[in-house]
Structure 1
């Protein structure tokens, strides 16, 4: 049985998975024998005190890497992990999206709750299907033009005032932009596969911009002037449910 050691305690690898979460780890180099587990596919280092990504270069078989709830300030030293499909960096101190150019097999990237100000550094991630950028400091939707396979985009709780930069996301099914500063619905016409749209708690006064979205099933407009005024969609070609405050919005909570 393969294993690593941290503070003299053994942690076994089970079915190519290793869980090192909640151990108060500050430095990945403190994990003994980690670099020897070359066939490791899943590594969980969440809920620690890690500040720097390092000592992972030999884990070339890694597919899932969980580094959420740490103190990481920079995405780096991941260039050897070209088989990575899922990368979780939720709740860290990252201010810039970079260091991902070689991760061409990524299908899910979670950068929720960081300090990111600009959407960039994603151009090579053409297989990406899920992208989480909520709870950051983003003002402009940009840098997504190469992500044509994207199906889920979450950019809630930012400082976005305008919907733009989504033209190439023709496979997008779910878009969450709640709790921003958007006052107008436009530039959505290319999202032909969109089924669910969460725009709760913005500043939207009318919903004319969704009239051409034939696959749209649910739109959440709670906390907008348009919802308070009970303005309904008049376009009969699409059937849209305006969510009430009592509804369970499980798809984007």
Structure 2
């Protein structure tokens, strides 16, 4: 979530609204069916980015947002009441995703919630990042690139076969996903080290995503596996 609000006003909102403090006004109508019976339905906590003196600052304090639910059958739908100065805006910082994924994958004691608290995101986000990494690219394809640059640098045996996090998975399918995510990160690290000139970006994942966009105009989306089709820049220029 991003907000454009002075720091003092943000602190005042947090002091007045939240569990055990106070509620915002109950809506008069449902936004889905125009029903006039609305119930409070708990809270949603989000992390926000605040503009402080014109510079974005990621806060570590959670912002509570009131949830409400339509009491009119058969609607029963719920939604979040957001202040007018706050708007939803999701961002994916590859170095953050990379660090959170590694922390979860290699630490036998790590949980999605503990990693989320450490990296300042939600546990669902960590869960999504793991699945996204597993489908981003195949380790074999990355190792093939490594072999073209450094024939002796592509070592399949270095790809992890056993990952501590896989043992914590609740299904075989998720265990395979976790293992594949770890293999992708290791393969990208090999590709990063195999470059003739050391990349200026220390994050193998961020460097790889940037290179894919600059070279092939391909974008990796968190909600879709793999990369999007390349942008047709030639057609765009012809249409002008």
Is TM > 0.5 for Structure 1 vs Structure 2?
no
Into which bin does the TM-score normalised by the smaller protein fall?
under 0.3
TM-score, normalised relative to structure 1: 0.26
Task: Considering fraction of residues, name the structure with more helix.
Answer: 2
Highest relative contact order (Cα 8 Å, sep 6+), 1 or 2?
Answer: 2
TM-score, normalised relative to structure 2: 0.27
